[in-house]
Amino acid sequence: MIVVDGRETPINISQFQNLEEIIVTVMADKYMTDRIVTDVLVNKESFSEIYPHQAEDIPTAEVSSVEFVTVGVGEMAVNVTRELYKVVTIMDAGARKVAGLFRQADDAEALDMFQDLIDVTRDFFSIVGVLRDEFSLKENKLLAAAIEELSALFTEMLDVTGNEDWVLLADLLEYEYVPAVQRWKQIIANLREDIRDVQ
């Protein structure tokens, strides 16, 4: 039995050699266009590959059921914006903590946390960029301005780090980075609405 989003399909497991053939066939179905698989259950147990093409090594003789749980791309994007809101809160708190550590002259811990903040900020930019490109939101002037502001500030902070001016870095984090990040809360709410409108 092969089930997709709670609906049994007419596809018979026995017509395939292995699990990978089943997965490829189901993914090729028109229904799967603009859908993302969030879970695959094989014999009612969660399945994810430990190594590439592991599903090819599982013969269908060992498979009694395969269930696919999916979500629409738009719905997934809206869920991602909810997570981005949480990330903004983490970036805000992290910047305040790093600034405080620099002001206390705890440079080693501050630099360690600052590196984490840089990584989170880069990932944040990457996700926002994907959402903007996937949903054709390039005309959003507020989004473009916010990306430009945070990007320029990010570059300035990296330059200051190179000069090892920790007091200036603390000031940039507290008085420029935190307010810039705070503005992203409204931008993310707008982004979520734009994505809903595009769907």
pLDDT tens per residue across span 165-190 = 999 999 999 999 999 999 888 888 87
Domain shared by 83 and 160, yes or no: yes
What are the CA-CA distances from residue 179 to residues 4, 45, 46, 80, 90 (Å)? 45, 46, 42, 22, 13
Residue 54 is assigned to a structural domain of this protein: yes
Residue 57 is assigned to a structural domain of this protein: yes
Domain shared by 83 and 25, yes or no: no
Instruction: For residue range 7-39, list pLDDT tens digits in order.
Output: 999 889 989 999 999 999 999 999 988 888 889
Q: Are the C-beta atoms of residues 64 and 28 closer than 8 Å to each other?
A: no
pLDDT at 73 (0 to 100): 82
pLDDT at 71 (0 to 100): 87
Q: Are the C-beta atoms of residues 70 and 195 closer than 8 Å to each other?
A: no
Provide the 10 A C-beta neighbour count for residue 126: 10
Residue 70 is assigned to a structural domain of this protein: no
Residue range 137-166: average pLDDT? Answer: 84
Provide the 10 A C-beta neighbour count for residue 25: 14
Residues spanned by the domain of 107: 75-198
